[in-house]
Amino acid sequence: MTLKKTAAGLLILTMAVTGAACSSKDSTTSTPTATATAAPQATAAVTQDATNMKGYIAARIAREKVDYLFAEAKSADGAFVLNPIAATDKETAKKFLSSYVDAAMLDTIANYYVTDTKAGATFLTNTKSYFTDNILTTKKEEITFDKANTSELVKFTTKDGVTYTTKKVNDKFLLSEVK
């Protein structure tokens, strides 16, 4: 009985593969035409407004990640510590942030937050924020984008006068400067 089921299964599989092979020959003649018409739509130019928003969102995400890493976890006595879920020391903190913050800022931020003092196995962090304002409390309408922004660099200023710069690295915007 199993031999019959196996033989029937192989026969069905063979017919399916043969049918797929035959149908793929028929569809190859129409594929180049469909691809040629779809390609221009996919490469439509991105507007500067859309690029500005990508830069703004990247800065907000970077700030969220900095807060998550340095200002969320607490020791048993309530002191802020380096979030052990994401990092164990300055180097792993920089590695974690490298997806959100440009390499030029990584040392500055890690050195600012991570202290030499430990609470158990975890490093204590500076309780005062590196950032002079909180971009997470701003709204898009409260920021001013620099008119010289490009597809590779987005600068904007918050209502509090703090200027953020994001730059494109490997097709992704990273926070590169805060003044």
For 103-135, the pLDDT digits (tens) are: 999 999 999 999 999 999 999 999 999 999 999
Distance CA 170, CA 96 (A): 17
Strands across the sheet containing 172-178: 144-145, 153-157, 163-169, 172-178
CATH number for the domain running over 48-178: 3.10.450
Domains of the chain: which residue ranges? 48-178
Tell whether the model's pLDDT for residue 11 goes beyond 70.
no
Mean pLDDT of 39-55: 75
Q: In which band, very low, low, confident or very high, does the pLDDT at 5 lie, cut at 50, 70 and 90? A: low
Rounded to whole angstroms, the maximal C-alpha distance in the chain is 80
Distance of CA 178 to the CA centre of its chain: 18
Please provide the average confidence, as pLDDT, over all residues in the chain.
Answer: 84
What residue spans of 71-140 are helical by DSSP H?
A: 90-97, 103-113
Alpha helices for the chain (secondary structure H): 2-27, 31-42, 48-70, 90-97, 103-113
Name the 3-class secondary structure at 110.
Answer: helix
Distance CA 128, CA 15 (A): 70
Nearest residue to 130 via CA among 81, 60, 179:
179
